């Protein structure tokens, strides 16, 4: 995604999180907040050192808009280290997929503490916190809330909360809840006009458009399965804010949850929400594609993770 250009802010927002741009800012602004600054929309044009990313945002509730990560979450257990939210350092490296349509596929079956390769299908809550490693493939990868139904939203079991991803500090990213995914596809303004199905370089997936969508002049988009893009064509969609959720398959149970199936035909993305259905204590909520819709899956199942940043808080 292109994040370095200035685009107009939404008029109805009353407060906006603005990220530091590449130009030098005054010492007084840096002291106010070294990483981000809440600033009223009507004054945004008076702060040229900062840039607004309004056209890349997606409303996930009545009061919140988010920026999607530039690709699915990936992990290598052997290479490098990463920072954790408690200030410690852990083995292994986190990153986002180099391109939105890329996924690991069958190689996820090699998941282990010694596998020197990238994986992108994870058990629920397997951030590494509380001895639940990212390479967990046990039958019951339980979050230790026995007999209770608790979400991982805002907790260290959330990959983005606990882990530093690439050069980003722990807490930069987070996982959407079931309610937020549902709002994105069903409740935001013109929701059904803002997603469709298609492929990029032959990989099938779901295309999701931002709230302020402006179609690039020389590429098309339809609410069907006929959207097919080359890399060059997709770059234009991506620059306008489009997000692609690849059908990366899932890692299923065959004794150790290392059977990878349905790559290219189905996608399962973890939410931060736990089911509240009696008898499903070992299950959690997932976004199921195509569809889209939310269902339940066993916590040991390996699913995709697509993180977001909260970028705009709109006051009621």
pLDDT digits (tens, 9 = 90+) for 182-199: 999 999 999 999 999 999
**Cβ 286 vs Cβ 296: under 8 Å:** yes
Give pLDDT, residue 95: 98
pLDDT digits (tens, 9 = 90+) for 101-150: 999 999 999 999 999 999 999 999 999 998 889 998 876 555 655 445 67
Give pLDDT, residue 224: 78
What is the pLDDT confidence band of residue 26, given thresholds at 50, 70 and 90?
A: very low
C-beta atoms surrounding 140 within 10 Å: 12
Buried b / exposed e across 77-107, counting CB within 10 Å, b at 16+? Answer: beeeebbbbeeeebebbbbbbebbbbbbbee
- Relative to beta strand 73-83, strand 64-68 is unpaired
Sign of CA dihedral 17, 19, 24, 27: positive
Give pLDDT, residue 315: 72
pLDDT digits (tens, 9 = 90+) for 12-24: 332 333 232 222 3
Q: What gap in Å lies between CA 195 and CA 248, rounded to an integer?
A: 18
Give pLDDT, residue 279: 61
């Amino acid at each position: 995604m292109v994040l370095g250009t200035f685009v107009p802010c939404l008029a109805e927002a009353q407060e906006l999180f603005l990220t530091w741009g590449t130009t030098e800012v005054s010492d007084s602004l840096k002291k106010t907040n070294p990483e981000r600054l809440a600033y009223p929309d009507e004054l945004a044009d008076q702060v040229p050192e900062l840039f607004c990313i309004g056209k890349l945002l997606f409303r996930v509730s009545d009061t919140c808009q988010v920026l999607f990560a530039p690709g699915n979450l990936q992990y290598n257990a052997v290479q490098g280290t990463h920072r954790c939210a408690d200030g410690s350092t852990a083995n292994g490296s986190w990153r986002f997929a180099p391109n939105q349509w890329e996924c690991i596929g069958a190689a996820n079956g090699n998941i282990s503490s010694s596998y020197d390769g990238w994986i992108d299908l994870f058990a629920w809550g397997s951030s590494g916190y509380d001895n639940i490693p990212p390479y967990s493939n046990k039958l019951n990868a339980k979050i230790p809330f026995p007999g209770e139904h608790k979400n991982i939203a805002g907790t260290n079991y959330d990959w983005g909360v606990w882990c530093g991803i690439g050069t980003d500090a722990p807490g930069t990213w987070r996982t959407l809840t079931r309610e937020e995914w549902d709002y994105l596809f069903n409740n935001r303004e013109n929701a059904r006009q803002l997603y469709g199905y298609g492929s990029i370089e032959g990989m099938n997936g779901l295309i999701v458009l931002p709230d302020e969508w402006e179609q690039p002049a020389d590429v098309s988009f339809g609410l069907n399965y006929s959207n097919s893009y080359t890399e060059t064509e997709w770059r234009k969609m991506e620059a306008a804010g489009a997000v692609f959720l690849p059908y990366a398959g899932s890692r299923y149970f065959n004794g150790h949850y290392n059977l990878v199936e349905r790559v290219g035909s189905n996608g399962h993305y973890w939410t931060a929400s736990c089911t509240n259905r009696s008898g499903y204590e070992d299950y959690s909520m997932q976004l199921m594609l195509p569809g889209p819709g939310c269902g339940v899956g066993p916590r040991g199942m390996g699913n995709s993770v697509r993180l977001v940043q909260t970028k705009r808080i709109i006051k009621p």
